[in-house]
Amino acid sequence: MEPVIYFKGDFRPEHEAIISVRSRGLNYGLGCFAGIRGYRSDDGSQLNLFRLDRHVRRLEAGAHILCLRLPGTVEEVSNIIIELLRRNGVRDDVYVRPIVFANSNELSPLLDPDTSETAIFCMPLGRYLSSEPIDVGVSSWRRVRENALPARAKATGGYLNSALARREAIDHGYTEAILLTEDGHVSEGSAEHVFIVRDGQLISPPSTEDNLDGITRQSLITLATEDLHIPFVERSIGRTELYVADEMFLCGTGAEITPVRSVDRRPIGGGRVGPVTRRLAAHFEAVVRGRVASRKDWLTPVWPEQGQ
C-alpha cells in the first residue's frame, strides 16, 4: 500500500506530495521540523506517541522564530498526526516527521508566513544509531552560534553543520561526532544531546550552549531526578572532561539513549555500559512502552481504546 502523506492541507498518496525544484525550502533550507516517536505497547493493542504535545509546541515555536506558521493550532496539528498514523494503519514503532517550510518558487531567501507549507510523513524506525556502545570523535567543525542560526528552532538549514561533522566522524572511523561551541565547550552530537556521569552525578550542558532545547533530554532529566533519584547538574562541559567521564551517552528522539564507548579513541568507563546509563535506559524504555503509570500522561494513544 502506498504511504499516505499530509501535504497542502490534505491527506494524499505519497506520489502526489511533491514540490518544485524552484522551492525556497529546497534551495535555501528555509524551514524547521520535528521528530516524534511512537511506541507499540507490550501487548500490541496500542501505539503511543511520546510527548506529542511538547513536540508540536516546539515546532510551533520554531516556526514562529522563522516567521513561518503551522496549518492550525497545536491541538489541530496533533490530531492531524494521529489521523495520519491511522490512515497508514501504523501499529508498530514509528517515527513521524512534520516539516514546515517556505514553499514559494520565487528567487531569494525570504521567510514569509504566507508561503508556509507543512508536510508530515511517517516511517518505521528501530535503532537510529546502535544498541551497542559507540565510538565518537570531537569534530573540527564548530556548532553554529545561536545568534547566527537558531538551534532551538530545529531549522532545516542548520543541519548542514551537523552533516559536515558527521561526515568527518565517519571518515575517521567513528559512529558519531561531538561538536563544540566556538568557546570550546561541549555543545551536542550531530543530532543528539550529551550526558556524562562523574562520581555518580549526571551532567549535561544547558541548551544555551548553541544546542537544541531537547525534549528527550528534558524528559531524561525528569526521570533521573524524580523517579530514580540520580543527582543531576546542568553546566558547561569541557572537551577533556569527556575523556575522564565514568560514563557517557547520547540521547534524542531518534537516538533514544545511546551509550558511548570511547571519545577520540579514549575508552570511557572501560568501554562498557555504565550502571547509571543502564538504569536510565531501562526506565525510559518502561515509560515509552506504557509500563510506568505515573508517566502515562506523556503518551498519546493513536488508536481508540476498546469501548470508546
Please state, in angstroms and rounded to a whole number, the distance separating the CA atoms of residues 24 and 22: 6
- DSSP calls for 34-91: --EEEEE-TTSS-EEEETHHHHHHHHHHHHHHTT---SS-HHHHHHHHHHHHHHTT--
With a CB cutoff of 8 Å and minimum separation 6, the contacts of 295 are 223, 227, 287
Active-site amino acid positions? 154
Comma-separated ranges of CATH 3.20.10.10 domains in the chain: 134-288
Domain 4-124 class? alpha beta
Comma-separated ranges of CATH 3.30.470.10 domains in the chain: 4-124
The CA-based dihedral angle spanning residues 49, 153, 163, 234, taken in that order and rounded to the nearest 10 degrees: -80
- Give pLDDT, residue 126: 76
The total of other beta-carbon atoms located within 10 Å of residue 113's CB is: 12
- Give pLDDT, residue 183: 94
pTM: 0.95
- Give pLDDT, residue 89: 97
Low-confidence ranges of the chain (pLDDT < 70): 129-131, 306-308
Please state, in angstroms and rounded to a whole number, the distance separating the CA atoms of residues 78 and 140: 39
Domain 134-288 class? alpha beta
Of 288, 268, 266, 264, the C-alpha closest to 277 is 268
User: Backbone phi, then psi, for 99, in 5-degree steps?
Assistant: -135, 130
Grid coordinates given for 294: 505515573
298, exposed or middle or buried, with CB in 10 Å at 0-12, 13-18, 19+?
buried
The helix or strand, by DSSP H or E, that contains position 215, with its residue range, turns out to be helix 215-222
- Give pLDDT, residue 260: 97
- Give pLDDT, residue 307: 52
Please state, in angstroms and rounded to a whole number, the distance separating the CA atoms of residues 125 and 247: 26
Q: Is the dihedral of CA 89, 95, 96, 100 positive or negative?
A: negative
